Structures are given as structure tokens and as C-alpha cells.
Amino acid sequence: MKKVFIETYGCQMNVYDTELIRGILAQHGDVAFVDDEASADVVLLNTCAIRENAHVKVYNRLEQLKPRKRKGKLKAIGILGCMAQSLRKSLPDDEPMVDIFAGPDAYKRLPSMLELAVGEDAQATDFSLSEYETYSDVAPSRIPGVNAWIAIMRGCDNFCTFCVVPYTRGRERSRTLQSVVDEAREAVQSGYKQITLLGQNVNSYRTEGHDFADLMAALGELRGLERVRFTSPHPKDFPLRLLEVMGRYENLCKHIHLPLQSGSDSVLERMNRTYTREEYLSLVAQIRATLPGVSLTTDAICGFCGESEADFDETYQVMQQVGFDAAFIFKYSERNQTVASRKYADDVPEGIKTERVMRLNALQRRVSLARNRLEIGTEHRVLVERASKKNEHDWFARADHFKGVVFSSHDAQPGDIVRVRIDEAYSNTLRGTELPG
């Protein structure tokens, strides 16, 4: 029996992939999953490559694992996922400590790779990307909770020039509508209250005559499914019909994560985002007109190649104008293989990138606080996720629009839907009082 510990880095897609990996390994027997590295024979790191600091985290982790590996207490270390895939050319010689390298489409071969690495003490690598693998025949072994992740597609064909994902996850491919609905139904039957659909660009989901709006409508109809979320759509193709479907069903949450990346047309063009600032703004207006009360969140990158102070100002202005409920703001990090790394100079000095990130974050904190304050006095049905870390009678829940709400209760449980009134607002949470019924 091999005792396996899996650690997950990166995005929700990786969290879901870890559940698939657990499902695949469990099916092949002779594996037990443990919760800590100290008691494991095998440590698998499911890694991310999106920014350089994602790589740094993994290298640091490998350093920590080295002593146990050298003493023979750890039989194998595996690097899985996006970083494995993106490093494939510079490995394996660089990392003799690592026994397994497996890219995101190679997980079905993990049982035999593990056998080779542990049984025969040989290195096992698989960097093949597939145009077809969707793992829709694999049952994920989910971590208990209120939310079940479901990847509806894999890969990405957008080739934003800054982004490594098309190289680490390969071509875009969608699962069948039926396989997603079946997986959602099984999750509901196992007690999950919320489904979050995952894809690098969910609104380019296509399968046998169905699109993403059809899939959402099918899930809107699914009995017992309290909440459906999705991440992320790309602003370039956001059909009105999808907004109408979202409006029609109560269980389709009124929250859209709509990555802006930049508010400057020339930067957007160099990024190959294929929309302009005006197109983005008119999409926001259409979303708000169709779905009143919707919350909007976004991603932005500071210091992309050639970003001038005037370009940055435009991002600042768009963020101010839209008034996002929350935003993730990143420093541009050049990635190998990408068009930007080949074509453009990473010419914004580190100090300026940092300063721009800080300015946008400061703006966003003010905007989030102002938007959250508008919630004071309103009532929400919130889904309880977990006990709050600070106070034993406090619970952390989320409203339909994704905002976190903390409230006190003696008898709440994860998975409950509770009615609360919002009393206090901070920049990243709300505080409420439980209402009867």
C-alpha cells in the first residue's frame, strides 16, 4: 500500500484535477491518501505555471522535501500539472529528486507511472497533450464540502499573448452536455449544494449542437441543485441568450467573473484579447441591464509589455467606472513559449509594476467597500460554507452574488441556506444577522 499525499497549487481547475487524480489512483487499488506529507511514501505536487512565483513555490517545496527523500523515507516525488508540462524541455536532468513528471492530459497513466517510480526506482515522464482527453469517464474523488467543481472543458485556444495555459493544457475540447449534467446530478445526490463549472473560456463550450447557454439551462432545471456558478467567461463572446438563461433560473447565481486584463486598447491588442475598452464597457452595460443586482469581478494585469503610464491610467479609469465588486490584480510575469515572450520586451521595471498593482488594489478596496456598503439593510439567502476561523459561533457563508457573509448562529451547519440581513460592510466581507425562517 502506497501512502500518497497530494498538494494542489494554482486555479480551481487544478483543484478539480486533483480530485480526478485521486479518483484514478483509487480505482487502481494499493493506494491510500494521507493528509500530511510526514506520513506519506509518495508526494505529488499538482502545480501551476501561470506566473513565475507559482514555479518558485514549487521549487521551495522541493527543497523542503529533499531531506526525507535522501534518507529514503519518501519513495517518490511527482510534479504534475501545468508546471510539469511547461518545464518539459528543461527536464528531467535538472531535477533528479523528482521521479514523476505528468502533464494535465497524462493522469490516466499515473498508476503505472507510480508503479515504475516506486517499484523500479525509475523516472517516469509523460508530457503528451491530447485533443480529446476530457476525463468525463473518470469519477472524481471529491473533498467533502458544499461545492462540487466540474470541468466542462479543457485547454484553451485563445492564445492571449501573455498566457502559458494554451501551452500547458493544449487545445480546447468540451465534454458532452449529458456527461456534465450526469456528474452534476450525482454530486447533488451525494449532498453537494453548489456546482461550479470550470473552463478557461466557458462560453466557447460547444458540443453536439449545444452551447454554454444550453448547459446552464439544463442545470437550471436540475432538481435539488441549489446553486450553479461558473468561471471564467471571456468578454469576447458573451451571448445575450446566456444572460437571459441566467435571469430565468433562480439557482443560476448572479455573479460573473469577467477578466478585463487591461483598459487600454493598445495593450488589449498586444495581449490579443480581441475586444476593445468600449466593447468591454458595453458588455458590462448589457449584463447589468439584463441581470439587475448582478455582481461583477475581474482580473487585471499591471506592467504588461509596453504599458505606459497613460495605458495604466486607462485601466484605472475602467476599473473605477465599472465598479467591480472584487478584482484580482497581478504583476505581469513573462512566461516561456508565449507570443509576448518572443515578440515583446518585458520592459516595465519591476518597481513600476509593483507600484501600479498597489494603486489598483487601493482603488479596488475603496470601490469594494463602497459597493459592499450598499448592501447594508438588504436581505440575502446565504449558503453556509464553514465555521468562521475567528469565533466559534460565527459562520462563513456566501450570498448568491458571491459576497462572503459572516453571521452568528448556534445551530447553522455547512450546506444550510439561511436568511440574513446585512448590518456591517467591510472591503472584502459583510456581517449579517440571521433572520427567522
Q: What is the binding site for ligand F3S (CB under 6 A)? A: 10-11, 13-14, 48-50, 81-82, 164-165, 168-169
For residues 410 and 195, give the distance between their C-alpha atoms in angstroms, rounded to a whole number: 27
The single residue among 114, 217, 301, 348 that binds ligand SAH, judged by CB under 6 A, is: 301
User: Which residues within the stretch 212-241 sit at the binding site for ligand SF4 (CB under 6 A)?
Assistant: 234
Contact between 55 and 27 (Cβ < 8 Å): no
Contact between 30 and 23 (Cβ < 8 Å): no
CA distances to 400, 423, 425 from 432, rounded to whole Å, are 14, 5, 9
Q: Which stretch binds ligand SF4 (CB under 6 A): 86-94, 163-171, 404-412, 417-425?
A: 163-171
Q: Which does 125 bind (CB under 5 to 8 A by kind): ligand SF4, ligand SAH, ligand F3S, none?
A: none
The single residue among 163, 253, 256, 348 that binds ligand SF4, judged by CB under 6 A, is: 163
276 contacts ligand SF4 (rule: CB under 6 A): no
Q: Which stretch binds ligand SF4 (CB under 6 A): 55-63, 153-161, 366-374, 379-387?
A: 153-161
C-alpha cell at 21: 487524480
Contact between 228 and 215 (Cβ < 8 Å): no
Count residues near ligand SAH (CB under 6 A): 16
The single residue among 128, 130, 158, 408 that binds ligand SF4, judged by CB under 6 A, is: 158
Packed helices 309-322 and 277-290: angle between N→C axes, nearest 10 degrees: 10
Q: Which does 48 bind (CB under 5 to 8 A by kind): ligand SAH, ligand SF4, ligand F3S, none?
A: ligand F3S
The sheet with strand 124-126 has its strands ordered as 31-33, 2-8, 42-47, 76-81, 100-102, 124-126
Q: How far is the CB of 224 from ligand F3S (least distance, A)?
A: 30
Which residue number, 108 or 234, has a Cβ lying nearer to ligand SF4?
234
Q: Which does 207 bind (CB under 5 to 8 A by kind): ligand SF4, ligand SAH, ligand F3S, none?
A: none
Q: Which does 49 bind (CB under 5 to 8 A by kind): ligand SAH, ligand F3S, ligand SF4, none?
A: ligand F3S
The single residue among 11, 114, 118, 165 that binds ligand SF4, judged by CB under 6 A, is: 165
Contact track, ligand SF4, 171-210, x by CB under 6 A: -----------------------------xx---------
18 contacts ligand SAH (rule: CB under 6 A): no
Cell 449545444 belongs to 210
In terms of Cβ atoms closer than 10 Å to its own Cβ (0-12, 13-18, 19+), residue 90 is: exposed
Which residue number, 79 or 165, has a Cβ lying nearer to ligand SF4?
165
For residues 310 and 300, give the distance between their C-alpha atoms in angstroms, rounded to a whole number: 16
The single residue among 161, 261, 264, 364 that binds ligand SAH, judged by CB under 6 A, is: 261
Q: Phi and psi (nearest 5°) for 7?
A: -115, 135
16 contacts ligand SAH (rule: CB under 6 A): no
Q: Which does 335 bind (CB under 5 to 8 A by kind): ligand SF4, ligand F3S, ligand SAH, none?
A: ligand SAH
Nearest residue to 82 via CA among 171, 180, 13: 13
Cα–Cα–Cα angle for 43, 92, 336, rounded to 5 degrees: 100
The single residue among 20, 50, 80, 367 that binds ligand SAH, judged by CB under 6 A, is: 50
Q: Which does 166 bind (CB under 5 to 8 A by kind): ligand SF4, ligand SAH, ligand F3S, none?
A: ligand SF4
- Where are the alpha helices (H) located in 170-239, listed in sequence order? 177-189, 212-220
- Please list, in sequence order, all residues whose beta carbon lies within 8 angstroms of the beta carbon of residue 4, skipping any fewer than 6 positions away: 25, 31, 32, 33, 34, 40, 41, 42, 43, 44, 114
For residues 99 and 42, give the distance between their C-alpha atoms in angstroms, rounded to a whole number: 10
- Other CB atoms closer than 10 Å to residue 88's CB: what's the count? 17
For residues 240 and 246, give the distance between their C-alpha atoms in angstroms, rounded to a whole number: 10
User: Which residues within the stretch 141-170 sit at the binding site for ligand SAH (CB under 6 A)?
Assistant: 162-163
The single residue among 146, 156, 252, 425 that binds ligand SF4, judged by CB under 6 A, is: 156
Which residue number, 154 or 193, has a Cβ lying nearer to ligand SAH?
154
Cell 454554454 belongs to 212
For residues 260 and 268, give the distance between their C-alpha atoms in angstroms, rounded to a whole number: 9
46 contacts ligand SAH (rule: CB under 6 A): no
Residues near ligand SF4, by CB under 6 A: 156, 158-160, 163, 165-166, 200-201, 234
Residues near ligand SAH, by CB under 6 A: 50-51, 162-163, 200-201, 232, 234, 259, 261, 299, 301, 330, 332-333, 335
